[in-house]
Amino acid sequence: MSEVVLVIHLLLALAIIGLVLLQRSEGGGLGIGGGGGGLGNFAGAQTTANFLTRATAICAAAFFVTSLVLANLAGTQTSTKGILDRTAVPAALEETAPAPEEVEAPAAPEPERAPSVPVSE
């Protein structure tokens, strides 16, 4: 489910980028969508600007909704395993040498005490 929403989310992001680049800005931009002969006589500059603005708004709203859905899906998928626990371990690493037997370390010798010397008064 989350994979489908993620693909839709990415397509919406690309659509928003394309729609914004098509719009004419004060600096000119790509300006493909409006102006003198961008689309020929098929549509006027004002009609094209309204269409691009409305399409951008619709894509932005859908992008916002998919963002919320993805956040909700991520919050509901709880896992007790960490990222490293979920990854597959290669077969070469699974077969390790058996652990050596535990050997008791020899007891440390007690420290030598200095001989007691009588103190004269």
- Mean pLDDT of all residues in the chain? 75
- Tell me how far apart the alpha carbons of residues 30 and 24 are, in angstroms, rounded to a whole number: 7
Q: Where are the domains of the chain?
A: 2-77
**How high is the pLDDT of residue 15?**
96
Number of Cβ within a 10 Å radius of residue 29: 14
Residue 94 has pLDDT above 60, yes or no: no
Q: What's the average model confidence in pLDDT over 102-112?
A: 71
- The answer, yes or no, to whether residue 25 has pLDDT greater than 90, is no
With contact defined as beta carbons under 8 Å apart, do 23 and 33 qualify? yes
Q: Is the pTM of this model over 0.85?
A: no
Does 39 have pLDDT greater than 60? no
Q: Of the candidates 17, 50, 20, 15, which has an alpha carbon nearest to the alpha carbon of residue 32?
A: 20
**Residue 24 near residue 35, CB atoms below 8 Å:** yes
Q: Which residue has the tokens 């489908």?
A: 4
AA identity, residue 114: A
Q: Do residues 18 and 54 touch, judged by C-beta distance below 8 A?
A: no
- Integer Cα distance of 109 and 113 in angstroms: 12
What's the sign of the alpha-carbon dihedral 59, 62, 67, 70?
A: negative
Residue 121 has pLDDT above 90, yes or no: no
pLDDT of residue 75: 83
